[in-house]
Structure formats: structure tokens, C-alpha cells
Amino acid sequence: MQKVSIIGAGNVGATVAQEIVRAGLADVVLLDINEGAARGKALDLLQAAALWGSPSRITGTSDYADTRGSEVVVITAGSPRKPGMSRDDLLKINASIVSEAARKSHAASPRARFVVVTNPLDVMAYLVWRTTGVSWRRVIGMAGILDSARFQAFIADKLGVAVTDVRAMVLGGHGDQMVPVPSCSTVNGVPVGELMSQDTLKQLCERTRNGGAEIVELLKIGSAWYAPGTAAASMVAAILQDTRRLLPCSVNAGGKYGLKSVFAGLPVVLGKRGVEQIVEVDLSESERAALAASAGSIRTNIERLSELGLLQA
């Protein structure tokens, strides 16, 4: 089977592993500096695989040599948010962790595609790209899928409709300036703006922006993991199975939507190469302005990476 390595055996990493093993998508290596945690969770999942009837094998380790030959590397390692802490507050803490994980993973698996989950997400994806020096197609941040799922869930709950009939899209940075896009959000093809008042829609957009913080405040310790882990696993599936799903992900904009020198959430087609295509959709003037503002905030934090000396020359 193909191999997927997950760097970080915390709640998010373990959930990514669970979803991959449950679906029998690949063999999994779960790596953590706490080898006992990685091995213990891997053993638990190996036993669960017997119940699921999954052929996937899973190994826990702290040695990057065990990740050699991975098709996909998922980076979840880092510190989670705590109450009162923004994703951007994590920048200095997590940058050194992610850059080391990227460097060692790339050395072991030079052809791997990278799915980045660690916050602040968009900046960490940029850091992985610069650290590894791989094609921009091969570094994808998990952000828009999670934020869109939250928007989708809130719309379905408010309207009292099946969540499976709701399609929602959130672009921009994975932070307070993310951009829910009502013009690209529908219920079985019907625009959400025709099904609720603009005030209600604005409230749902705001709740989506604060979706992660809402969970952090309730948990008190740690942050969300079920939805982020499931979102990352769906990206792995799209890459391994070359399904070419159109999903909002954090990618190197490369001039699309007028954005340069920044990773931001945009609609992309995911396949075996990673990013097969960035899709440009028609946005309203206000949506495009919000996207530009969100990208500007990300760019500011990328500049902070340079100030910290964490970018490769």
C-alpha cells in the first residue's frame, strides 16, 4: 500500500490517522517526539483496524527514518491554541517545530506532497514550501475545508435542512479575517441569500470566523480536532486517489485573484500532483476586497518569519 506519514500524534494527528486507516487508504506512520504516545495510539488504531476490516498497517515512532518513501506527509505538530490566544500568537512557537518537521520529512521522502495543519496555518504552509524547496503544487494547507464545513453546519442548523444538501465556501486566511463566500454557498443549488435574511447570514459568517475560538473557549484546554483531522484526511484521500476534488485549500496564490507572495485559501482541484489547478470564481467586489485584506494579514506574518530568521535564503 501507499504510505502516509503524520508528524504529530496529538488529537488532530491521531484523528487523521484514524480516518485514513478506517478507510483503508494507506499504511500510516504516526511520528511524535513523545515516542510512547505515538506507539500507543498506533497500537490502539491497529487493533481498531481489525474491527473495521481495514488492511492498513500503522506504526508509531519518533524516528524520521521510518517515514521514508511517504507519498503524503501531514504536519500537525505544534502547540494548540489556548483560551485568549489567536492563531497568529502561535507563530513563534510553532515555526521552529514545523520547519524541522518539513526538513526531516523531505529528506526522508523527497517526492512527498505536504498537507499542513499546524497553526497559524497559511504561514506554516508558506514555511514548509520555503523550507523544502519543492514545487508549489506539493504544499497544501488545510484551512478552507474545515472553515467551509463549519459554515455548512451552521447554515444547515439555522435552516433546519439536511447538511448534505448544503455547499459552502470559505476563502482567505485561516483566522479572524477568513472570508465566508455566500455567493458560492447553496442549499441544493439554491443560493443561501434567498433562504435567509442578510442579517442572519452575516451572523453565520461571523460565527464561522470564530468557529475555532468558540470550541477553544468551551474546551478550556486545547482546540478542535475531530473536524480538522477529518478535513486533512479528506485532502489525503483526494491526493492518493487522484479524485480531482474541487476544495478550498491554502496554496501559493501565484498571482491568482491578484494575490502574490502569499499562501491563502483558494478553490483548488486536488489530485495526485497535489494542486492540479487553482480555480478562479467570480467574487463580489466586497468579497474580493475581504480576500485581499485577509491575504495582507498573512503576508504580515510571513514577514515576521523573515525577522525571526526562520526562512531559508
Which residues are the active-site residues?
174
Q: How many residues does the chain have?
A: 313
Cα distances from 124 to residues 49, 150, 175, 200, in angstroms, run 32, 22, 13, 33
Sequence-distant (≥ 6) Cβ neighbours of residue 29 within 8 angstroms: 3, 4, 5, 6, 58, 59, 60, 61, 66, 67, 70
Beta strands in 242-286 (DSSP E): 245-252, 263-271, 274-278
Residue 135: strand, helix, or coil:
coil
What residues form DSSP beta bridges with 170? 180
Using CA atoms, how far apart are residues 140 and 146, in angstroms rounded to an integer? Answer: 13
Sequence-distant (≥ 6) Cβ neighbours of residue 176 within 8 angstroms: 86, 209, 210
End-to-end CA distance of the chain: 37
Segment (H or E) for 139? strand 139-141
Using CA atoms, how far apart are residues 80 and 87, in angstroms rounded to an integer? Answer: 9
